[in-house]
Amino acid sequence: MSSRNIAFVVPRYGVESAGGAEVLTRGVAERLAAAGHTVSVLTTCARDHVTWVNYFSPGRERLNGVSVHRFPVRPRSVDSEFFSIQQRIAHGMPVTRDEEERWIQGSVHSAPLYDFIAAHRDDFDCFIFIPYLFGTTWAGSAVAPEKSFLIPCLHDEPYARLSIFKEMCLRLRGLIFNSEQERDLAVGLFGIAADKAAVAGMGFESKKKYLPDRFRRKYRIHAPFVMYAGRREEGKNTAMLVEYFRVFKRQNPGDLVLVLLGTGDVAIPDDSRGCIHDLGYVAEDLKHDAYAASLALCQPSVNESLSIVLMEAWLAGTAGLVNGNCAVTSSHCFRSNGGLLFRNYFEFEECLLYLMESREVRGRLAAGGRRYVEREYSWGAVMKRYEEAFSRFGV
């Protein structure tokens, strides 16, 4: 294996409440560095993904074998016009090419970061941008497109249909996807050639020890529960999950509760606070303890390119319950026999009742999911696919 000089470009890095793209970047970057590559991360000084204000000091630090360069964020230009365009995009309404560019200019940007790429383009074998949706990816990948790759973390959403992103993908050296379904979506949306697309994913490791009773004691949750973990927002269908569970409890009185973990706001009606526990952000070890303590992880989102929480739950010995309208998580469940699918409330109810009634079924589903993760998404398997992608793209 030849050693390469690789730079990842991501809007945020090394923050506590990181999203899936940041978690993926850190995992892949650190393991490529451990494998003998020289790995840098080019990122901004921002910590918050809503305000994008500078928080960290600009400069360079070393984190787990990776050289992290932070650059200041340009003050954002957002006004009523920007928000009007964003609302129209989000609702699938038509916008002009000029309006698309006006919108992306209001995203997170860093001129010093772009200047660094331009000044050091010959020092790196490749620049890997992640995810597709932000200004740093759109503008940064235009600096040295012949050396630029994209891990898009793509969802089937209105933003993905903007012409600026199709143009961006077509000018890149190549794209690296988290799943075959994500790749197929990109091919359909952007018309990229097959020789520009590779699938690699993200690796996972089982924890040495899961302590489900520790989680139960800390949060005083002794009833059986199903859980959700991740960002609580409209695109992840957390409000839908809350409403489904409220209806379920009205139809099926009993001691089952729903536990919500993660960042963001979700409204819990007063009459459901006894059966829906919103714990907010919890430490990583406690999140994994929660997986092990739960009857199932419910993943209601349709906007997934991989689903980190589903993989983590399977490794903790927990069955999955996923939205059947999500091609990615549905495929994981079909291929692994690791979870059940629902497409409406009635299927959700039947799946929950089935999982509650049979410990044996839950065990078979969890075991199938665990074998699937260990086979397809171990770090060894993922790093092999990254090396194959680099060789295929001539890096």
Q: DSSP assignment of 181-249, as one string?
A: HHHHHHHHHH---GGGEEE--------S---HHHHHHHHT--S-EEEEES--SGGGTHHHHHHHHHHHH
Co-location of 29 and 57 in the same domain: yes
- In which domain, by residue range, is 281 found? 212-376
Q: 0.85 cut: is pTM over it? A: yes
Looking at the fold, whether 274 and 180 belong to one and the same domain comes out as no
**Same structural domain, 354 and 385:** no
pLDDT for residue 20: 82
**Dist CA 118 CA 7 (whole Å):** 13
Same domain, residue pair 130 and 228 = no
Give every CB contact of residue 381 below 8 A, 6+ residues apart in sequence. Answer: 203, 375
* Beta-strand relationship, 59-63 and 66-71: antiparallel
| CA 91/CA 76 separation, integer angstroms | 23
The reply to whether 190 and 90 lie within a common domain is yes
Same structural domain, 231 and 349: yes
CATH number for 285: 3.40.50.2000
**Stated length of the chain:** 395
User: Given phi > 0 = left and psi -120 to 50 = alpha, else beta, which region is 193?
Assistant: beta
In this structure, the answer to whether residues 183 and 234 fall within a common structural domain is no
* pLDDT score for 235: 80
Tell whether 150 and 252 lie within a shared domain: no
Name beta bridge partners: 320.
297, 339
Place of tokens 């859980």: 227
pLDDT of residue 49: 83
Give the pLDDT confidence score for residue 294 in this predicted structure.
97
Predicted pLDDT at 16: 65
The reply to whether 243 and 105 lie within a common domain is: no
Q: What is the pLDDT of residue 50?
A: 82
Residues 303 and 169 in one domain: no
pLDDT at 62: 95
Based on the fold, state whether residues 119 and 94 are members of the same structural domain: yes
Helix intervals (H) in 305-358: 308-315, 327-336, 345-357
- For the packed helices 327-336 and 359-376, what is the interaxial angle rounded to 10 degrees? 100
Q: Is 66 found in the same domain as 185?
A: yes
How many structural domains does the chain have? Answer: 2
Show pLDDT as tens, one digit a residue, over the chain (395 residues): 679 999 999 999 987 656 788 999 999 999 999 999 999 999 999 998 888 999 999 999 999 999 999 999 998 878 889 999 999 999 999 999 999 999 999 999 999 999 999 999 999 999 999 999 999 999 999 999 999 999 999 988 999 999 999 999 999 999 999 999 999 999 999 999 988 999 999 999 998 899 999 999 999 999 999 999 998 888 899 999 999 999 999 999 999 999 999 988 888 998 898 899 999 999 999 999 999 999 999 999 998 999 999 999 999 999 999 999 999 999 999 999 999 999 999 999 999 999 999 999 999 999 999 999 999 999 999 999 999 999 999 99
Q: The tokens of 70 are what?
A: 């932070």
- Token duo for residue 273: 């606070």
